[in-house]
């Protein structure tokens, strides 16, 4: 029996060829799959069914993906959403996450990539509970991070982090005590296409440490896990 | 002709007029009437000279204004062509993404089912992959032209070391960063973009040369100068000015994979840092790619 059979996924895309192809691929991976061809249809399915994850295209007739996501979150529905973005520019990724999507994938992609992302998102849900994963504001002692506005404060002073350093800090903070590998950070924060290497991740972690005054040898926030990656070691609360 | 030259010409003509007037006066008798008659031509010459210089200056100013207007119009035309080009790439990108996704997903399905062992499926997948990366490259080009740079202080040696690390061929890259009589000062720029630019240049060197390539970084006359030198197949002289154009591929590299976008990306990144990319090459001898970024610019 396939491992994912109890997991229901809704695919929302107005392109028939993409939708039907993805339905076959996900069913073959063992998921139970529902489909919708526009935003309004998606909301109807969401209301009628219990879902584990939604794959949502951005550009669609009637209601677009962003509007659907916004409506869901306003209604306190925290079903994980993977957004299919059209544009690779950083702004598009950030705005997708701002609307409450949990992850994004750029078109064109292959179905293996999509399935890997879906599994990672489902695993994330199991490991870390909703509150911190989905929270827009994360607080750890004197450190405060606001996801939507991309702003960070230490004590009462705001600190200016580069986009990527902010992404790394947000990713680590939303997984307190979990070891996150450099590869995972590269994948999530930099995306699949950027020709960056492990050292790039280290440079950004060094930036965070410098600006937070966090010593690598005796860290208050980010610990280096030798040969693997990093771990956020302080307690994190959501607001 | 510059305004300064025109002004000097006007002054010279005026002085010439005065000199001529004085010469005419020196030939005049002492009688007042005769003097007045004699001085009249000198005054006329002087007035004529002044009018002539004013006329030349006027014409020059008008032509300068016209030149500025033409330059403005050309600038506007260039900007509008550029934004039209960017819009076209965005539309192309948008219109091609959905069909490419559909083809890709259906190929995956085919390969997971009956078409598992069909070599043709793998061939089609490769071609879709090429189109996909071409599209991504074009989109990236537009993104680079318009995105806001994240400027920070960069240690040049550390950045170049990362390039070497990324390309995983340390034995083929000879890195030479200036330390004496002083070390290269850090530069201010977008670290991630400069990493892409230097990586592309070094990767090109490695790709088109079977030998060791040199990467030299110097601080020269207020500039950071990084040279990437290879002893590869080189670029034909008549193609040198084309190699940074989008999608251009040299006539002697068709046997190698490539998108024809790598050097265009480098050029955009360097220019966005106020710098210059210069490429010198000799066929069958090698190529020197030089990036120059002024410290005050960065």
Return d(Cα B110, Cα B134) in angstroms, integer.
Answer: 24
Instruction: Give, as one character, the DSSP assignment of residue A54.
Output: E
- Measured in residues, chain A has a length of 239
Chain B partners within 8 Å of A203 (Cβ)? 158, 162, 191
Q: What is the greatest pairwise CA distance in chain B?
A: 122
Q: Note whether A107 contacts B98, CB cutoff 8 Å.
A: yes
Which pLDDT belongs to residue B186?
93
| Chain A residue closest in CA terms to B145 | A89
Compare CB distances from B101 to A107, A198, A207 and report the shortest one's residue: A107
Q: Note whether B102 contacts A21, CB cutoff 8 Å.
A: yes
Task: Report the phi/psi class of residue B253: left, alpha or beta, with left for phi > 0 and alpha for psi in -120 to 50.
Answer: alpha
**Residue B295 burial (CB < 10 Å; 0-12/13-18/19+)?**
middle
Q: Note whether B147 contacts A89, CB cutoff 8 Å.
A: yes
Phi and psi at B49, nearest 5°, equal -60, -45
Which pLDDT belongs to residue A159?
92
Residue B17 sits at the vertex; the CA angle it makes with B11 and B23, to the nearest 5 degrees, is 135
| Local structure of A40: helix, strand or coil | helix
Q: Note whether A200 contacts B162, CB cutoff 8 Å.
A: yes
Compare CB distances from A197 to B100, B143, B162 and report the shortest one's residue: B162
Beta pairing, strands A53-57 & A81-85: parallel
Q: Note whether B192 contacts A110, CB cutoff 8 Å.
A: no
Query: Residue A56: which H helix or E strand, with range?
Result: strand A53-57
Q: Note whether A195 contacts B199, CB cutoff 8 Å.
A: yes
For residue A127, the distance in angstroms to the closest alpha carbon of chain B comes to: 30
Whether A164 has its CB under 8 Å from any CB of chain B: the answer is: yes
- Residue A47's closest CA among A82, A16, A71? A71
For residue A199, the distance in angstroms to the closest alpha carbon of chain B comes to: 7
For residue B102, the distance in angstroms to the closest alpha carbon of chain A comes to: 5
Task: Output b/e per residue, A50-71; b: 16+ Cβ within 10 A.
Answer: ebbbbbbbbbbeebbbbbbbbb
Q: Note whether B108 contacts A18, CB cutoff 8 Å.
A: no
Return d(Cα A100, Cα A74) in angstroms, integer.
Answer: 10
Q: Is the pLDDT of residue A1 over 50?
A: no
- Residue B226's closest CA among B144, B164, B153? B164
pTM of the complete model: 0.70
Note the pLDDT tens digit of each residue in A45-98.
999 988 999 999 988 888 888 889 888 888 878 888 998 876 555 555 555 565
Q: Note whether B139 contacts A88, CB cutoff 8 Å.
A: yes
Compare CB distances from A109 to B101, B112, B166 and report the shortest one's residue: B101
Return d(Cα B82, Cα B76) in angstroms, integer.
Answer: 10
Q: Note whether A200 contacts B195, CB cutoff 8 Å.
A: yes
What does the pLDDT profile of chain B (298 residues) look like in tens digits? 555 676 677 677 767 766 766 676 665 555 556 666 666 777 787 788 888 888 888 888 888 899 999 999 998 988 888 888 888 887 888 788 889 999 999 888 888 877 677 788 888 888 888 888 888 888 888 888 888 888 989 999 989 998 888 888 888 999 999 998 889 999 999 988 899 899 999 999 998 887 899 999 999 989 999 999 999 888 888 888 888 887 777 777 777 777 778 899 999 999 999 999 999 999 889 999 999 999 975 5
Average pLDDT of chain B, as a whole number: 84
| Local structure of A15: helix, strand or coil | coil
Whether A90 has its CB under 8 Å from any CB of chain B: the answer is: yes
Taking CB atoms and an 8 Å cut-off, how many pairs form between chains A and B?
A: 92
B-contacting residues in A 193-212 (Cβ below 8 Å): 193-200, 203, 207
Q: Note whether A107 contacts B93, CB cutoff 8 Å.
A: no
Supply the ipTM of this predicted assembly.
Answer: 0.71
Would you place residue A223 in the very low, low, confident or very high pLDDT band (cuts 50, 70, 90)?
A: very high
Q: Note whether A199 contacts B165, CB cutoff 8 Å.
A: yes
| Chain A residue closest in CA terms to B203 | A195
Note the pLDDT tens digit of each residue in B164-196.
888 888 889 999 999 988 899 999 999 888 998
Return d(Cα A43, Cα A146) in angstroms, integer.
Answer: 28
- If you write DSSP's letter for every residue of chain B in order, what string do you get? --HHHHHHHHHHHHHHHHHHHHHHHHTS-S-HHHHHHHHHHHHHHHHHHHHHHHHHHHHHHHHHHHHHHHHHHHHHHHHHHHHHHHHHHHHHHHHHHHHHHHHHHHHHHHHHTGGGG-HHHHHHHHHHHHHHHHHHHHHHHHHHHHSPP-EEEE-HHHHHHHHHHHHT-GGGEEEEE--SSSPPPPEEEEHHHHHHHHHHHHHHHHHH-SS-EEEEEEEETTEEEEEEEE-SS---GGGGGGTTSTT---TT-TTS---S-HHHHHHHHHHHTT-EEEEEEETTTEEEEEEEEETTT-
Note the pLDDT tens digit of each residue in A175-216.
888 888 888 888 778 765 555 667 788 889 999 999 999 988
Compare CB distances from A162 to B90, B150, B162 and report the shortest one's residue: B150
């Amino acid at each position: 029996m396939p491992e994912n059979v109890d997991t229901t996924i809704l695919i929302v895309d107005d392109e028939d060829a993409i939708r039907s192809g993805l339905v076959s691929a996900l069913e073959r991976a063992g998921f139970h799959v529902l489909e919708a061809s526009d935003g309004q249809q998606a909301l109807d399915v969401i209301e009628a069914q219990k879902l584990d994850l939604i794959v949502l295209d951005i550009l669609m007739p009637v209601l677009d993906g962003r509007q659907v996501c916004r409506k869901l979150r306003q209604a306190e529905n925290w079903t994980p959403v993977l957004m299919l973005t059209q544009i690779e520019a950083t702004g598009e990724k950030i705005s997708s996450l701002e609307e409450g999507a949990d992850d994004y994938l750029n078109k064109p992609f292959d179905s293996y990539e999509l399935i890997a992302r879906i599994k990672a998102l489902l695993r994330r849900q199991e490991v870390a509970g909703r509150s911190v994963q989905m929270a827009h504001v994360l607080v750890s002692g004197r450190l405060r991070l606001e996801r939507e506005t991309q702003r960070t404060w230490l004590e009462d002073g705001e600190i200016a982090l580069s986009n990527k350093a902010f992404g790394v800090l947000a990713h680590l903070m939303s997984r307190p005590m979990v070891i996150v590998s450099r590869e995972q950070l590269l994948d999530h924060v930099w995306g699949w296409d950027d020709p960056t290497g492990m050292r790039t991740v280290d440079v950004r972690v060094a930036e965070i440490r410098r600006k937070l005054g966090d010593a690598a040898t005796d860290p208050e926030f980010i610990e280096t896990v030798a040969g693997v990656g990093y771990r956020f070691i302080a307690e994190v609360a959501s607001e | 002709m510059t305004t300064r030259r025109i002004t000097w010409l006007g002054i010279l003509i005026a002085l010439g007029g005065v000199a001529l007037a004085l010469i005419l006066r020196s030939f005049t008798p002492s009688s007042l009437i005769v003097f007045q008659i004699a001085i009249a031509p000198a005054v006329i010459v002087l007035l004529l000279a002044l009018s002539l210089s004013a006329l030349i200056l006027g014409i020059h100013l008008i032509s300068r204004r016209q030149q500025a207007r033409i330059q403005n119009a050309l600038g506007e035309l260039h900007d509008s062509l550029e934004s039209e080009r960017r819009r076209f790439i965005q539309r192309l990108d948008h219109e091609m993404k959905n069909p490419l996704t559909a083809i890709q997903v259906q190929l995956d399905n085919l390969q997971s089912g009956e078409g598992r062992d069909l070599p043709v499926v793998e061939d089609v997948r490769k071609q879709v992959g090429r189109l996909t990366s071409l599209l991504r490259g074009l989109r990236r080009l537009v993104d680079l032209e318009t995105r806001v740079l994240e400027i920070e202080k960069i240690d040049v040696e550390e950045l170049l070391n990362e390039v070497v690390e990324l390309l995983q061929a340390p034995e083929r890259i000879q890195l030479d960063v200036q330390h004496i009589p002083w070390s290269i000062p850090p530069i201010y720029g977008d670290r991630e973009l400069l990493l892409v630019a230097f990586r592309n240049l070094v990767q090109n060197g490695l790709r088109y040369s079977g030998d060791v390539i040199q990467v030299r970084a110097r601080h020269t006359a207020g500039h950071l100068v990084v040279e990437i030198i290879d002893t590869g197949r080189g670029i034909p002289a008549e193609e040198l000015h084309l190699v940074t154009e989008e999608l251009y591929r040299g006539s002697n590299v068709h046997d190698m994979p490539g998108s024809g976008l790598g050097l265009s990306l480098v050029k955009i990144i360097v220019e966005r840092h106020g710098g210059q990319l210069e490429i010198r090459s000799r066929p069958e001898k090698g190529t020197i790619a030089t990036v120059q970024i002024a410290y005050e610019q960065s």
